Chain A
Amino acid sequence: MNWTDEGIVLSARKHGESAAIVTLLTRENGRHSGLVRGGYGSRARGIYQTGNLVSAHWRARLSEHLGTYSCELLQPNAAMLMSERLPLLALTSAAALVERLLPEREPHPDTFASLSALIEILEADENWLPRYVEWELGLLNQLGYGLDLTECAATGSTDDLVFVSPRTGCAVSAGAGTPYQEKLFDLPTFFMTSDPAPMSEDIDMGLRITGHFLARCAKDADAGDLPTSRARFVDRVARGARD
């Protein structure tokens, strides 16, 4: 068994003295792990940094084996983001979410494309924070936990949608939701209008909503809690809003 594909490095875990078990999100083979001999050594360690785009060749005797990777660096995204505090946290959060929530060895070309696009935005766009929240919304969609914000879950109305139900993930209109507003999430306006520069309160609420449904997805998949790198990212965003 062997294939060659492009992949984004999600993690590299030390194995033995200098080998690493590397997990990639590949374009055609989904989230896939493999052993890299010397992958944790000083020469190759730079290649297997979270976020880097690599050309990977995977080989194993049987398809169900862990197999071995040999990779060539295509884009050193980690090096580009290393000095940027919040974008680096966003990158590690996104990679950890994909690693925790995406089923292994199932093709998810949409998730590969959206993660690649997110990394480009983190490098190039100063106003990337709302795009990150939208990326999490997209990930929820790809995992089958997408939010339905087209109409009010209670009345079917498409007007005045201002809440999100934490139970169903559907929008709720002001008229139907106001009596229960303490139990509902406020619907951030940029979820509906793609506002390029939303308020920081909207970003915080957006992250709360996606965090709630991502946690539910993790629980359903027996994947435990959300990764600590996401919690650290959300804390830093909240701190940025306070500063």
Chain B
Amino acid sequence: MSSPEIERLIQMLAKLPGLGPRSARRAALHLIKRRNSLLDPLASAMAQAAQSVTICGICGNLDAADPCGVCADDRRDRGQVCVVEDVADLWALERAASFKGTYHVIGGTLSALDGRGPEDLNIASLLTRVATGEVTEVILATSATVDGQTTAHYISDRLEDLSDEKGAGLSITRLAHGVPVGGELDYLDDGTLSAALKARRPV
């Protein structure tokens, strides 16, 4: 039997994605054995993050500052806004380092099953951003799932309405769906192949 403090640590670790009770126990033991090199720095980093990390009031990104580093960066093109479902998607696009515009995190997808409607997503603030007239292109980078694309179509409808009202030429685009770089056709699933064929373009 371990002490209540250790049990609590194990219980909290077991709530993390990818960890069950057994692996949480191993992680807890690992941390406790390396108190100086791991446990103390980790506890301090977590306390600091809990205190300083906030949600960006413009785009919904997570950062220690509001507005976040992306929104505050003058070198970025504020005319381009890439709409993503989650902060993890924003990080993925930033890793690719091929997009120099700004982002908007909507916080999920429309889902009839989960009872998540437009009012539960960060869509109103996107429309407010676009209404200022600074944005010239909105890139819908929602996931290639039925829920993701239903959300993209919904946002596209709302943006078209806004564009019609303002009389401004807003360009609405979405990410391409198809063959990944390095992907061999033989190994691709039928859905990806069908989408790729449907979205073929002249060479």
Contacts and interface: CB of A to CB of B under 8 A. Distances in A.
B95 interface: no
Interface stretch (A47-55, A62-70, A186-194): A47-55
Contacts of B33: none
Nearest to A52: B191
Interface string B69-102: 0000000000000000000000000000000000
A79 B113 contact: no
A3 B17 CA distance: 34
Say which size band chain A's interface belongs to. Answer: 20 to 34
Contacts of A96: 112
Contact of B191 (A49, A83, A89, A229): A49
A239 B110 CA distance: 19
B76 to A, nearest CB: 29
Given A76-B189, A88-B150, A89-B150, A49 B194 contact: no
Contacts of A50: 146
B40 interface: no
Interface string A64-107: 00000000010110111011010011011000100000000000
A222 interface: no
A17 B17 CA distance: 7
Contact of B189 (A46, A82, A92, A228): A46
B117 interface: yes
Given A88-B150, A232-B154, A227 B112 contact: yes
Nearest to A233: B150
Contacts of A88: 146, 149-150, 153
A78 B191 contact: yes
A11 interface: yes
Contacts of B191: 46-47, 49, 52, 73, 76, 78-79
A179 to B, nearest CB: 40
B146 A76 contact: no
A92 B157 contact: no
A212 interface: no
A57 interface: no
Interface in A17-58: 17, 45-47, 49-52
B1 interface: no
Given A73-B190, A239-B157, A83 B198 contact: yes
A183 interface: no
A216 interface: no
A13 interface: yes
A34 to B, nearest CB: 16
Contacts of A75: 190
A236 interface: yes
A76 B191 CA distance: 5
Given A80-B194, A82-B195, A232-B154, A47 B189 contact: yes
A83 B177 contact: yes
A242 B153 CA distance: 17
B145 interface: yes
A80 B199 CA distance: 10
A79 B194 contact: yes
B4 interface: no
A83 B113 CA distance: 21
A84 B93 CA distance: 25
B11 interface: no
Interface of A: 11, 13, 17, 45-47, 49-52, 73, 75-76, 78-80, 82-83, 85, 88-89, 91-92, 96, 227-229, 232, 236, 239
14 contacts: A50-B146, A76-B195, A78-B191, A79-B192, A79-B194, A83-B149, A83-B198, A85-B157, A88-B146, A88-B149, A88-B150, A92-B146, A227-B112, A228-B112
Given A17-B18, A49-B191, A85-B157, 8 more contacts: A47-B189, A73-B189, A76-B189, A76-B195, A79-B190, A82-B144, A227-B112, A228-B112
